[in-house]
């Protein structure tokens, strides 16, 4: 399973989904789906989001052994 850490990084900056959407050019609803692990990221979006936070894609999207409840 791939876990998205977007919520943690976004809230550390004090940003809303709307603000992150404006910065990245990615729709607010798509970002919400990523935060809640409803979808896997497109590779170009993964890099775009990670670049905004100045972290690696691996830090933003980590592979876990957890199973969904």
- Confidence check: pLDDT of 67 > 70: no
Q: What percent of the chain has pLDDT over 90?
A: 77
Q: Look at residue 45 and tell me if it is in a domain.
A: yes
pLDDT digits (tens, 9 = 90+) for 10-41: 999 999 999 999 999 999 999 999 999 899 88
Residues 6 or more apart whose CB falls under 8 angstroms from that of 27 comprise 21
What pLDDT, on the 0 to 100 scale, is given for residue 3? Answer: 87
CA distances from 67 to 28, 57, 64 (A): 26, 21, 8
Q: Look at residue 16 and tell me if it is in a domain.
A: yes
What pLDDT, on the 0 to 100 scale, is given for residue 54? Answer: 97
How many structural domains are present in the chain? Answer: 1
What pLDDT, on the 0 to 100 scale, is given for residue 69? Answer: 53
- Confidence check: pLDDT of 47 > 80: yes
Q: Pairing mode, if any, of strands 61-63 and 2-4?
A: antiparallel
Which structural domain range is residue 54 located in?
A: 2-62
């Amino acid at each position: 399973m791939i876990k998205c850490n977007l919520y943690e990084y976004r809230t550390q900056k004090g940003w809303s989904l709307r603000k992150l959407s404006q910065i990245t050019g990615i729709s607010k609803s798509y970002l919400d789906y990523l935060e809640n692990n409803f979808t896997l990221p497109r590779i170009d979006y993964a890099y775009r989001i990670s670049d905004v936070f100045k972290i690696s894609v691996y830090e933003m999207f980590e592979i876990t052994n957890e199973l969904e409840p």
